[in-house]
Amino acid sequence: MQIVGELINTSRGAVHTAVDNLDAAFIQGLAAKQVEAGADYVDVNAGTFVGKEGDKLCWLVETVQARVETPLALDTPDPEALRRALAVHRGRPLINSITGETGRWETMLPVVAEAKAAVIALCLDDAGMPQSAADRLRVAGKLVRGLEGAGVSMEDIYLDPLVCPVSTDTSAALAALEAIGAMRREFPGVHAICGLSNVSYGLPKRRLLNNAFCLLAMQQGLDAVLLDPLDRSLISLIQATQTLLGKDEYCMAYIQAVRENRLT
């Protein structure tokens, strides 16, 4: 299971303030804590800085990489901001993200292809938000074929089914779960990734729903996830689930994690 730490996002007030004030210590602390907790990628997002997103994203990349060796997830829909962030990033990042929407696809694809990086592809196209698992699979097919055609290898593609809230449509979680299973069968080698917080929007005790969704999605083949790595109970559940799904030889990762007092 690959974990993308989601905390460095300027839609969170404290992060916005820190980026605004170029508070490197705050950002580096947040990055280091996520890496210590097991993040494989650290997401960086400066989306609230309209007109200055490229500058702020570059500052984030340089600031975070001055502290941690972990590659970053470059989180922007803006091809120009992405191009600049890629130029300052050391190592091989995860681009977050491309979609099948006409304008975004055409402008992002050349940047993605040139970067030789991994990329998250959201199952979204001009038809709008997908409803059913079949909708998602149709868009996933277009994305995979298009990315492959541009020279991106299957192993570098992370398909995101787009998870919608169950509060407004009780079949929403099931549609995303079915899509994850179908994607993994249909496109061998391609990863499945998603965020966890959408599913619980508008409901109480959101973590409970987020965590339950994560485990169900892992059963369907989810092998990467955007989450808060500082949530120890979630990280513990994920480790336990990996072990139960037969992805932990001799259960040694589980035993090791317990010995290191990493599980709660």
Partner 1 sequence: MLLDEIARSVSGGQAVQTSRLVEQALADGLEPGSVLNDGLMAGLTVIGERFKRNDCYIPEVLLAAKAMHAGMSLLRPLLAGGGERLRDKIVLGTVESDIHDIGKNLVGMMLEGAGYRVIDLGVNVPAGRFLAALEEHAAPVLAMSALLSTTMPRLQATIAELEKAGVRERVKVLVGGAPVTREYAQRIGADGYAPEAASAVDLVRDLLAPAPTV
Binding positions for partner 1, rule: CB under 8 A: 10-11, 16, 47-50, 53, 76-78, 81, 101, 103-104, 124, 126, 128-129, 164-165, 167-168, 198, 201-204
Both tokens of 22, joined, read 């170029």
CB of 172 or CB of 190, closer to partner 1: 172
Minimum CB distance to partner 1, residue 70 (Å)? 24
DSSP for 204-221 reads: SSHHHHHHHHHHHHHHHT
Spell out where the chain has E strands.
Answer: 2-9, 41-45, 72-75, 94-100, 118-125, 157-160, 191-195, 224-227
Burial (0-12, 13-18, 19+ Cβ within 10 Å), 146: middle
Minimum CB distance to partner 1, residue 148 (Å)? 24
Minimum CB distance to partner 1, residue 204 (Å)? 6
Specify the DSSP element, H or E, that contains 90: none
DSSP for 233-252 reads: HHHHHHHHHHHHTT-SGGGH
CB of 59 or CB of 187, closer to partner 1: 59
CB of 157 or CB of 172, closer to partner 1: 172
Contact 237, 211 (CB under 8 A): yes
CB of 89 or CB of 104, closer to partner 1: 104
Both tokens of 79, joined, read 């091809």
Minimum CB distance to partner 1, residue 164 (Å)? 6
CB of 203 or CB of 245, closer to partner 1: 203
Minimum CB distance to partner 1, residue 155 (Å)? 27
